[in-house]
Structure 1
Amino acid sequence: MLGIVLVALGVAAAAYLVLKRFYAPMALLMVGAALIVVMGFVTGEPVVTGKSATNTFTFDVVQVMTNLLKSRAAGLGMNIMVVAGFAAYMDRIGATKSLVNLCTKPLEKIHAPYVLLALAYVVGQLLNVFIPSATGLGMLLMVTLFPLLVSQGVSKYSAAAAIATASALDLGPASGNSLLAAELSAIHVMEYFFDGQLPIAVVVLPLCAIAHAFLQRQFDIKDRALGRLTDADFTAQAVEVKGAAAQRTSPAYYALLPLLPVVLLFVFSKFVYAEVRLELITAILFCCFTAFVVDLLTRRTPKEVVADTKAIFEGMGKVFTSTVILIICAEVFAEGLKRTGGIDAILTWASQIEGAGGVAMLLMMIGIMAVASFVTGSGNAAFFAFSHFLPQCAKSVAWETIVLAAPVQLASGIARSMSPISGVTMAVAGLAGISPFELVRRTLPVMVLALFLTILASVLFV
């Protein structure tokens, strides 16, 4: 009983600190360390055992983080940093902007407003596979798709809703959440993408696109009749070009560069040709060198082209201070929760529900993830904090980890898209000139449907 109480107090304390806008990694670290200290005094057991033990209680508490830093920074952390470095380089040379422009150009030929809205959502979600930043993708789509949608007769609220949720599923091997979920599932990230994410996405994506078209049209009709919308809300407006949207304009063939890592990882995998073993970092670095050569041959200004490669290392450093450190601090938090024994008690209870242990576990984990993502406005923070329990949860109900990990990971992105304080919601709302809460009023019904479809599809197909 004490363990469950401590788990509840730990989760409540972490949620309170994050809601109060404390720096999330430190908030999770403090709560996790406090739980480790408490359980050390309660049980009298050593905090760290084996060769890494310091044989001093105080130092052992810190040694927990030291061990995680050693393992994560060199493994998963390095994968995430290299991916982020490549993404930053694609932004710097304008390749990401070229890809978005190329994919959105055909939509200009469609003149049915809400059909266009549905297709815009689909295009955005597909682009998310190659552009893992939700906020960055949202800003690019605001520059390219938002004026087009509004000019065709869609309100700015509806257009913003489709764009803000375009990265809701958090698909693809470039996502930090995907990389962590693949590692927890002990499989290659491309296997996780094809075997875990895609079976769910092929159900959720088209149905959510249809839901967007129908619900946003109903919102527009109803809100216009009530006077909440005016003609100005259906008038195309200029969008301020900043952030990711302020990339330089590059030739159209640069659009192929962001696709290269996914293509290489797919080709040299069990799905096509497994004789060549290609690690994620090797594939990304090869693509960086390829992009550098293409940029050099195109621009023929060696000094400027070489200077732009600095973006790779800046991107790696930036994501270390955000995502990688967040993962490590979240693991300390998870370790603290585990040591209370409350997690084991909860998992035992859920797994023993007669005839529905697996489904009960799935619903419990998705519920936790959805609430955490909504409250914090971050799919990463929520997933990193609670995902480390997924292998144990899956084992307790005799499921493979991927069966549980895929829907839970997708749920974190979906719930983030419902939150008025998420980065992508605030960025899109700001560029559209509307309130984040008005935007969430439009995204919430579609994302609730997406959450339900994710649960249904995972039970049926994964």
Structure 2
Amino acid sequence: MIIAGVVLIVLTFAAIVKNYETRLVLFISGIIMCFIGGDVGAGITSFINEFTNAGLVPTICTVLGFSYVMEYTTCSKHMVYLISSILKKCKVIMIPGAVLVTFFINIALPSAAGCAAAVGVLLIPSLIYSGVHPAMAASAVFLGTWGSVMSPGLMFNPQVAQLAGTDVMTVIGRFSLQVIIAAIAAAIILAIIAVVKKENSGYIINAAEAKEVEEFHLNYLYAIIPILPLVLLIISSKQLHLIPYISVPVAMIIGTAIGFVVTRPNVKQATKQFFKGMGDGMGDVVGLIAAAACFTTGMTVIGITGALIDVMKNSQQIAQIVSAFGPFLIGALSGSGNAAALAFNGAITPHAADFGYGIIELGSMAQIGAGLGRCMSPVAGAGIIIAKMANINPLELTKRNTIPTIAATIIVMLLLL
């Protein structure tokens, strides 16, 4: 059964790499493994239970609802423009600054593709207008799209928090310093690559291409609204506790309400956007988590999980490397490390103590590795969006981001585990 399970897992990730529907592939693979193991019901039950998971569903759905409202009201655009306008005044640190700006915006706007669209439309022209080569400008923005690993709305953080029996902000607080150090290191490495390739200055842009950037009228009040929920979560966290505790769904709804009051949009349309975001969160994100739960249950039923645990028990280093670079490689090949990280956290992370690690540390490492791997993938949705904005081949992003992402993964792995 273990051999059959290994074959199925290889075929599963091969199908994901070839861009077959991830949810369908994971679900079918999980059901087949459960069938071989003699317990089909276990996979289906795991799939259904995730749709009523009180720790995951409200968080993910409200974050997506808030994000859609911020996009509709153009608040996210104002926030991006405010930061990019500041960045243009510091040309020496433009490239690493662009990476870190995108990184921190991606915390507030956790969708990699959404962040890429919001940031790229302003930041990429700003960089190019300042003389940065288009491929390097796009690579800088793409490299920053793993900031979502620190977002309370990213599916993995609530998942790890639930496994560890704690709250989301405690999970994020455990790895924040390590991730920020790695992000700074990756940004500096990319800046060095830009200097070596002579892509940090000297590019001449057509004035017409910069017209939209130059004519944009910034509203500072609009610009701060997207970060308000994050501020509320930080100051109400167990670490600071400046105000009574606020959950992620409550923070997102408060942020949405403030956005309504400040921007005064068409309330009917804005409300539709909020619920559209919630629906997409349920169908796209929770649906993926449910399919991954079926897959990981299949791994358990067929005996793969037990075999992996036995191997990792004998070597702490194996668990360390697999947690980081397993999801990283899948993310790099498929453009999404979500499936690998979800599978790892569902099957391996609950047994972290057996390998000498904490659940928070091991589970977080898996999702961080997945996020970094995606930032060098030529088939990632965010990368394709960014490459189109810069009018380059997505493979140009891979050429520039491979070394920074590998270095960042190693840094987090050594500091966190």
Give the TM-score normalised by structure 1: 0.83
1:282 and 2:244 equivalent? Answer: no
Percent identical residues: 24
The change in CA–CA distance for 1:62 and 1:111 in structure 2 (over 3 A counts) is closer
Residue in 2 aligned with 1:104? 84
Distance 1:346 1:61 in 2: 19
CA shift for structure 1 position 368: 1.6
CA shift for structure 1 position 236: 5.2
Q: Alignment partner for residue 165 of structure 2, among 166, 173, 186? A: 186
CA shift for structure 1 position 82: 0.9
Q: Deviations over 1:14-39 (max 9, x none)?
A: 11222332211011000000000111
Read off the aligned partner of 1:260 and give its amino acid letter. Answer: L
Contact preservation (8 Å) 2:324, 2:365: yes
Q: Alignment partner for residue 219 of structure 1, among 182, 194, 197? A: 197
CA shift for structure 1 position 63: 4.0
Contact preservation (8 Å) 2:297, 2:347: no
1:146-161 equivalence runs, <5 A: 146-161=124-139
Q: Alignment partner for residue 377 of structure 2, among 415, 419, 436? A: 419
Q: Alignment partner for residue 328 of structure 2, among 354, 370, 377? A: 370
Distance 1:96 1:66 in 2: 34
Residue in 2 aligned with 1:295? 263
Q: Deviations over 1:313-334 (max 9, x none)?
A: 0111112221110100011001
CA shift for structure 1 position 398: 3.3
1:204 and 2:162 equivalent? Answer: no
CA shift for structure 1 position 66: 2.9
SS in 2 for 1:66: helix
Distance 1:11 1:21 in 2: 16
Residue in 2 aligned with 1:268? 236
Read off the aligned partner of 1:187 and give its amino acid letter. Answer: T
SS in 2 for 1:145: helix
The change in CA–CA distance for 1:406 and 1:205 in structure 2 (over 3 A counts) is same
1:281-430 equivalence runs, <5 A: 281-296=249-264, 304-353=266-315, 357=316, 359-430=317-388
Distance 1:447 1:217 in 2: 18
Q: Alignment partner for residue 36 of structure 1, among 34, 37, 56? A: 34
The change in CA–CA distance for 1:323 and 1:407 in structure 2 (over 3 A counts) is same
Distance 1:207 1:315 in 2: 34
Give unpaired runs (5+ residues) of structure 2.
none
SS in 2 for 1:187: coil
1:66 and 2:40 equivalent? Answer: no
CA shift for structure 1 position 67: 3.4
Read off the aligned partner of 1:400 and give its amino acid letter. Answer: G
Contact preservation (8 Å) 1:99, 1:258: yes
Give the TM-score normalised by structure 2: 0.91
SS in 2 for 1:128: helix
Q: Alignment partner for residue 97 of structure 2, among 112, 115, 119? A: 119
> Higher Cα Rg: structure 1 or 2?
1
1:143 and 2:127 equivalent? Answer: no
Contact preservation (8 Å) 2:80, 2:123: no
CA shift for structure 1 position 141: 2.5
Contact preservation (8 Å) 2:63, 2:252: yes
Contact preservation (8 Å) 2:329, 2:373: yes
Residue in 1 aligned with 2:70? 90
Corresponding residue pairs, total: 414
The change in CA–CA distance for 1:249 and 1:75 in structure 2 (over 3 A counts) is farther
Residue in 1 aligned with 2:392? 434
The change in CA–CA distance for 1:102 and 1:6 in structure 2 (over 3 A counts) is same
CA-based RMSD of the aligned residues comes to 2.6
